[in-house]
Amino acid sequence: MTIIAIFAVISAGCSNKSTPIESWKNTDSEVSNEEFTELTKNNNALEYLGEKVQIKDKGAVVVSESGKVTTYFVPNTYIPIANAKDIVKKDNWTKQDFLTQYVGAAQSVSLNEKEDTVEAFFITGARGYGELRVTFEGNKLKAMTNTF
C-alpha cells in the first residue's frame, strides 16, 4: 500500500499539469457571435502531444517545409483577447505548458529544428486586427510581442 501511495505522489508531481483549451469563449465585446464562429472555425486543428505538434484536422492545416523549418498554417483560427491578455501577463511560460494549452488557437506554428526554436503566431482583437507572437528557444520563452 505504501508503494502505491509513493508511486501516486511521484506520478502526480511528474505529470504535465497543462491541459489543452478546447472550448473558446467569445469574450470580445467588439466581435459578434457570428463573426466569432467564423474566426474560430479551425480552432483546435492542431494539438501539442508528446512534445510534438500534431494535426487533428488535416483539411484545415497547410504544412510547408523549408530546410530545417516546418510551418503549420491554419486559416480561420483566433484567440479571444482575454486569453491573449492572460498569456502576456505571464513571463515564465515553458514551451510544453504554452503549446499544450494554446496551440489550438495558433494561426501558424514554425518549428526550426536546427536552432531548436518554436514560434507561434495568433490573431486576436476586433476583426482580428491584434497579433500575438510567442517564441521559444529550447523549452524557455525567448520573446513575446503583441499589437494589442
Separation of alpha carbons 56 and 101, rounded Å:
15
The CA-based angle 145-20-72, given to 5 degrees, is: 60
Query: Mean pLDDT in runs of 10 for the chain (148 residues)?
Result: 41 62 92 94 97 97 97 98 96 98 99 97 89 98 97
Contact call for residues 118 and 106 (beta carbons, < 8 A): no
pTM of the model: 0.87
Separation of alpha carbons 82 and 22, rounded Å:
15
52's CB contacts (< 8 A; 6+ apart) are: none
92's CB contacts (< 8 A; 6+ apart) are: 141
Q: What is the pLDDT of residue 127?
A: 75
Measured CA distances, 126 to 23, 26, 78, 109 (Å): 19, 11, 11, 22
134-147 pLDDT, tens digit per residue, is: 999 999 999 999 99
Contact call for residues 134 and 91 (beta carbons, < 8 A): no
Domain residue extents for the chain:
27-146
Q: Sort 106 into a burial class: Cβ within 10 Å, 0-12 / 13-18 / 19+.
A: buried
C-alpha of 145 from chain center: 15
